[in-house]
Amino acid sequence: MNNINENKLLEIKDLRVSFFTPAGEVKAVAGISYDLGYGEVMGIVGESGSGKSVEAYSIMGLLQSPGEIIGGSITFEGEDVLAYSDNQMVDFRGNKVAMIFQNPMTCLNPVYTIGNQLTEALRAHNKDISAADAHKKAVEMLELVGINNIEKRMKQYPHEFSGGMRQRVMIAMGLICSPKLLIADEPTTALDVTIQAQILELMKDLQKKTKMGIIFITHNLGVVAEICDKVSVMYAGRIVEQGSVNDIFYKPAHPYTLGLLRSMPRVDAEEYERLIPIEGTPVDMCCPPEGCLFAPRCESCMQICLKKSPPYVELGDGHRSACWLRVQENMNNKEEQANG
Amino acid sequence: MDDKVLLQVQNLHKYFHVKGMKGPGVQAVENVSFAIKKGETLGLVGESGCGKTTLGRTILRLHEPTKGQIIYDGKTIYDSGNLEIAELDANGNQVLDKDGKPLTKKSKKIAVDMLPYRRKMQIIFQDPSASLDPRMTVGEIIGEAIDIHKLTRSKTERLEMIKSLLSDVGLNTEHANRFPHEFSGGQQQRVGIARALAVKPEFIVCDEPISALDVSIQSQIVNMLEDMQNELGLTFLFIAHDLSVVRHISNRIGVMYLGALVELGESYELNKHPLHPYTKTLLSAVPVPDPEKSRARQRIVLEGDIPSPMNPPTGCRFHTRCPYAKPICKEAIPEFKEYDKGHWAACHILD
């Protein structure tokens, strides 16, 4: 069990992030754990405010005040990321882990050309590279992400690019230092479905070529089904269910996951079926209720759910769910075994 | 749903003039014609910038049309004049002459005062937080519509009406004294819906009412709109870019590309047997929340981006990205024709 870290690209254990606001402590991420192997694509699904972006920002060391990591560990290729010095962090960011953001317009600098920004990313991490080499590498990257007419495009500014093209530039910029892990924070949410399809195809293609690990943050379950190997479903700062993509879609073991799947109209449905929504509204993170945070919206809520936070129940092959229903099932099974 | 046509749009154009530019400017809506029956939901889908929102607003004359005709409940509310239009009977069917050819006539310019029609035609906007005045309480927001149309005689009656509207959309009556920022996105959208319902309209343009909401809230709003339609007999023009939601809620779907309507048909029929190549790509681009199905299927990925509506391609507007484009597509604008019963499309390849 000693070499377990060597097979894992990223390991997060019991990560806790809180925001200390005038209204009190907001536990944006309240103890999440997962690991990611080389070349794996992990989807993180959740509503807005569920803490999925905060968790990504803490991996990148981009958390801003009043946000603070108050516990847990982040291990990247066996090294403790949280213990990095500022200089080490600069090397880590970009070189080993890159991030692409939801809105490509606000993430590109409007007063520099695309070529300028791409080569800047490269030269910031590699001081020895010559301007000509950096230019060559930037052209290669743009070619990789499918941009035509590159020499002209290199001299253009972000406003001259369409939304889909800007997102391609963002991906090129993220990949230019060949990172081992790419964090994609809702990269297709701001795009049209046809452009989203283009970007997803591109990311699948790049993932095959480069064998990098991807953390794909989204609220679109359709996108998850298409691109991810593993899925973590987040609700109110916790991972409520985790498993392979097939486990999550075909054997959902948490009422929230089930609710999400049932509340979506399916594009392959044969006829009209009324949607089954999850009633109620997301938790107010300033004053969360006791017990399971999903309990107020849960249709199978029990007495214990309102009092105690549920533990994880392992359902085999890395599939686990934090729900008292599963705990009860387990106990019943054990009783049956003892009796039988 | 009965067979009476509530809203009829004929050859509607909307151009936005661009300062310092020659030519017609941005051609946001180009020659769109369709009819909506009473109690029906017509869905409109298309990429951003295809003119679906502009079309919705032009129908309500929030934008003045450039050319075309809008008929609401048998009365012409806008006519740009001098149009060659087919003569229609009360049911919206074409009147034929002795030889069986449709009769045409020249129209007169008409632009009616919209105030009485505002009571009948309403809109729900996409961004709930931007469409509610932050300095007005929810009660004032809903009450404003009641005041403008003088729907109540006394203050108590007005308050009762506001309360009943709030409870209709699933909010508490004491929410009337709160400001929009005190609500979540889903609740704000409920306020927007209550405001639209305040004047007891017959027809509502739903302009991407759920796009800004969380997944778990979206289905709540969709179900609520469906219930309201059943109870109040409303007619919807439902605009969205999410095909799965549009298909779920609509009786018929219109697909728009670069200002033009390219296909119109019954929603399940259109999903099963799409005619236009653009509809096919749009359908194949929607991610399916089922890992095995979504990985097994073949997807048509369009090359490039949507062209600028300031300078749209000649002929069929889709020919620059169409995988099946032929030389004729570049030259002639395809006619919007009925290929199956109630299933219309505009494409040369289908001929």
Q: Which two tokens stand for residue A7?
A: 């097979």
pLDDT exceeds 50 at position A5: no
Q: pTM of the prediction? A: 0.86
pLDDT exceeds 80 at position A275: yes
Residue B326 located in a structural domain: yes
Helix (H) or strand (E) holding B124: strand B121-124
Helix (H) or strand (E) holding A11: strand A8-21
Give CA separation, B176 vs B142, B165, B179, in Å.
9, 10, 8
Q: Determine contact: B134 vs chain A, CB below 8 A.
A: no
- Shortest Cα distance from B294 to chain A (angstroms)? 6
Stretches where chain B sits below pLDDT 50 are none
Q: Which two tokens stand for residue A270?
A: 């044969």
> Minimal Cα distance from B246: which residue of A?
A265
In chain A, what residues touch B184 (CB-CB under 8 Å)?
A: 281-282
Residue B173 located in a structural domain: no
CA proximity to B120, closest of B163, B74, B160, B81:
B74
Residue B190 located in a structural domain: no
Q: Which two tokens stand for residue A202?
A: 């591109």
Ordered by where they begin, the domains of chain A are 2-96+179-265+280-339 (3.40.50.300)
Radius of gyration of chain B (CA): 21
- Angle (deg, nearest 10), helices B138-148 and B155-168: 120
In chain B, what residues touch A246 (CB-CB under 8 Å)?
A: 291-292
Give CA separation, A157 vs A84, A105, A106, A166, B235, in Å.
35, 11, 13, 10, 45
Q: Is A225 in Cβ contact with B294 (below 8 Å)?
A: yes
Decide the pairing of beta strands B252-257 and A230-235.
unpaired
* pLDDT given at position A233: 96
Report d(CA B129, CA B317) in Å as an integer. Answer: 35
Report d(CA B271, CA B60) in Å as an integer. Answer: 28
Q: Which two tokens stand for residue B340?
A: 């199956």
In chain B, what residues touch A260 (CB-CB under 8 Å)?
A: 215-216
Query: Phi and psi (nearest 5°) for B273?
Result: -125, 70
Residue B32 located in a structural domain: yes
Q: What is the DSSP string of A149-189?
A: SHHHHHTS-GGGS-HHHHHHHHHHHHHTT--SEEEEESTTT
- B245-274: per-residue pLDDT in tens? 899 999 999 999 999 999 999 998 998 899
- A229-251: per-residue pLDDT in tens? 999 999 999 999 999 999 999 99
Residue B324 located in a structural domain: yes
Q: Determine contact: B220 vs chain A, CB below 8 A.
A: yes
pLDDT exceeds 70 at position A163: yes
Check: CB of residue B183 under 8 Å from CB of residue B238: no
Check: CB of residue B34 under 8 Å from CB of residue B254: yes
- A74-124: per-residue pLDDT in tens? 999 999 999 999 999 988 988 899 999 888 878 899 999 999 999 998 888
Helix (H) or strand (E) holding B299: none
Out of A6-10, A70-74, A81-85, A314-318, which region has the weakest mean confidence (pLDDT)? Answer: A6-10
Report d(CA A161, CA A105) in Å as an integer. Answer: 9
Residue from A162, A194, A219 to probe the interface with B (highest B Cβ count within 10 Å): A194
* pLDDT given at position A1: 37
Report d(CA A97, CA B166) in Å as an integer. Answer: 49
Helix (H) or strand (E) holding A31: strand A24-37
> Minimal Cα distance from B243: which residue of A?
A267
Q: Is A264 in Cβ contact with B291 (below 8 Å)?
A: no
Order of strands across the sheet with B235-239? B121-124, B203-207, B235-239, B41-45, B252-257, B260-266, B343-345, B337-340
In chain A, what residues touch B305 (CB-CB under 8 Å)?
A: 162, 164-165, 195
Q: Report percent pLDDT > 70 for chain A.
A: 98
Order of strands across the sheet with B26-37? B26-37, B5-16, B67-72, B75-80, B109-111
Which ranges of chain B does DSSP label H, i.e. alpha helix?
52-59, 115-118, 138-148, 155-168, 185-197, 215-232, 243-249, 267-272, 277-285, 291-296, 327-331
Q: Is A263 in Cβ contact with B218 (below 8 Å)?
A: yes
Q: Is B219 in Cβ contact with A200 (below 8 Å)?
A: no
Order of strands across the sheet with A8-21? A24-37, A8-21, A67-76, A79-80
> Minimal Cα distance from A276: which residue of B?
B219
Look up the CATH number of the domain holding residue B53.
Answer: 3.40.50.300
Q: Sign (positive/negative) of CA torsion A185, A190, A192, A195?
A: negative
Of A226, A265, A281, Cβ closest to residue B287: A226
Residue B278 located in a structural domain: yes
Residue B269 located in a structural domain: yes
* pLDDT given at position B108: 81
* pLDDT given at position A4: 44
Residues 6+ apart with CB under 8 A from A246: B291, B292
Out of A30-34, A267-271, B55-59, which region has the weakest mean confidence (pLDDT)? Answer: A267-271
Check: CB of residue A139 under 8 Å from CB of residue A116: no
The total domain count for chain B is: 1
Q: What's the one-letter identity of residue B185? A: G
> Minimal Cα distance from B245: which residue of A?
A265
Helices (H) and strands (E) in chain B — how many of each? 11, 15
Cis ω for the linkage preceding A252 (within 30 of 0) = no
- Shortest Cα distance from B55 to chain A (angstroms)? 19
Report d(CA B122, CA B148) in Å as an integer. Answer: 14
Residue B67 located in a structural domain: yes
Residues 6+ apart with CB under 8 A from B143: B158, B162, B198
Q: Sign (positive/negative) of CA torsion B192, B194, B195, B201?
A: positive
Q: How many CA atoms lie within 13 A of B142 on its CB side?
A: 34
Report d(CA A88, CA B230) in Å as an integer. Answer: 62
Q: Is A219 in Cβ contact with B215 (below 8 Å)?
A: yes
User: Which ipTM was obtained for this model?
Assistant: 0.83
Q: Is A194 in Cβ contact with B184 (below 8 Å)?
A: no
In terms of residue numbers, what domain contains B106?
5-120+205-211+240-345
Q: Determine contact: B184 vs chain A, CB below 8 A.
A: yes
Q: Determine contact: B291 vs chain A, CB below 8 A.
A: yes
In chain A, what residues touch B247 (CB-CB under 8 Å)?
A: 265, 267
Burial-class residue A156 by CB neighbours within 10 Å (0-12, 13-18, 19+): middle
Of B222, B286, B294, Cβ closest to residue A275: B222
- A43-67: per-residue pLDDT in tens? 999 888 888 989 999 999 888 888 9
Distance of CA B247 to the CA centre of its chain: 14
